[in-house]
Amino acid sequence: MDRALSDYAMRLGDDSLILGQRLSEWCGHAPMLELDLSLANIGLDLVGQATHFLMLAGDADRLAFHRDVLDFKNCLLVEQPNGDFAQTIARQFLFSNWQELQLRELSGSANETLASIAAKAVKEVSYHARFANEWVVRLGDGTDESRARMVQALEWMWRFGDELFDVDAQLDPLIAERIAVDPRELRAEWEARVTKTLAQATLDVPVPRRGARGGRMGHHSEHLGHLLATMQFLPRAYPGTVW
């Protein structure tokens, strides 16, 4: 069970860490100053969450900076490139609405440490989801160009949504012990949230596509390696550097 719990904590931590790193790439490049600050703050929230989850899994600094790409357990959605602002919002929209539901349920975990981390983090993620939802509406129901970009972004990111609800043999025993959240039970509410926001944005739900999976097992897209090359450069070049 200890190994399964460590694996679960790494999944949670890696999701937040990788998305936090992606959002940090916007610093100084966002469309306006307010968005630059908002994206940076969301990224900091996520890195803070990652720190706590990875500390539960082991040495947080080592896990963040000294693992190979094949050892990361994040979902494929969070490692996707920022693209334009609409693509970043589409990624945040799908992930944050799911993460808020997961953390809400995880705050009742039988593991007190997981429960306490989740109880604090869910307050932050509720803002992340609200931020993303509002921008989906603004872009979708905005100009012809913003709408077209939002449609294209959602079509690109949609294929990575199915993985968020997968359950495997490593997760099963933790669900049975009420330590981990069963993501399958979150799907109906997540779909209702997403559909409601898309309706407000006058956007259609994207056509289902064959889901992209593998991140939890270490089978990542080519994008993660490039991200880690940047994120891990300093501690690998200068041993002893800490987070």
DSSP codes joined into one string, the chain: -HHHHHHHHHHHHHHHHHHHHHHHTTTTTSSSHHHHHHHHHHHHHHHHHHHHHHHHHS-HHHHHHS--GGG----HHHHS---SHHHHHHHHHHHHHHHHHHHHHHTT-SSHHHHHHHHHHHHHHHHHHHHHHHHHHHHHTS-HHHHHHHHHHHHHHGGGSGGGG---TTTHHHHHTTSS--GGGGHHHHHHHHHHHHHHTT-PPPPP-PPP--GGGT---HHHHHHHHHHTHHHHHSTT---
The predicted structure's pLDDT at residue 132: 98
Report the distance separating Cα 60 and Cα 13, nearest Å: 9
Q: Which of 104-113, 192-201, 230-239 has the lowest mean pLDDT?
A: 230-239
The predicted structure's pLDDT at residue 235: 87
Residues 98-111, mean pLDDT to the nearest whole number: 98
The predicted structure's pLDDT at residue 162: 96
Per residue in 132-152, pLDDT (tens digit) is 999 999 999 999 999 999 999
The predicted structure's pLDDT at residue 239: 84
Does 243 score more than 80 pLDDT? no
The predicted structure's pLDDT at residue 209: 82
- Closest C-alpha among 102, 137, 139, 138 to residue 121: 102
For domain 2-237, which architecture applies?
Answer: Up-down Bundle (1.20)
Does 240 score more than 80 pLDDT? no
Residues 203-230, mean pLDDT to the nearest whole number: 94
Residues 110-131, mean pLDDT to the nearest whole number: 98
Structure confidence at residue 242 as a pLDDT band (50, 70, 90)? low
Structure confidence at residue 1 as a pLDDT band (50, 70, 90)? low
Report the distance separating Cα 115 and Cα 103, nearest Å: 8
Higher pLDDT, 243 or 24: 24
Residues 156-170, mean pLDDT to the nearest whole number: 96
The predicted structure's pLDDT at residue 108: 98
Per residue in 61-81, pLDDT (tens digit) is 999 999 999 999 999 999 999
Higher pLDDT, 1 or 47: 47
Q: What is the mean pLDDT of the chain?
A: 96
The predicted structure's pLDDT at residue 21: 98
Query: What's the pTM value of the predicted model, to 2 decimals?
Result: 0.95
Does 24 score more than 80 pLDDT? yes
- Closest C-alpha among 126, 123, 124, 104 to residue 114: 104
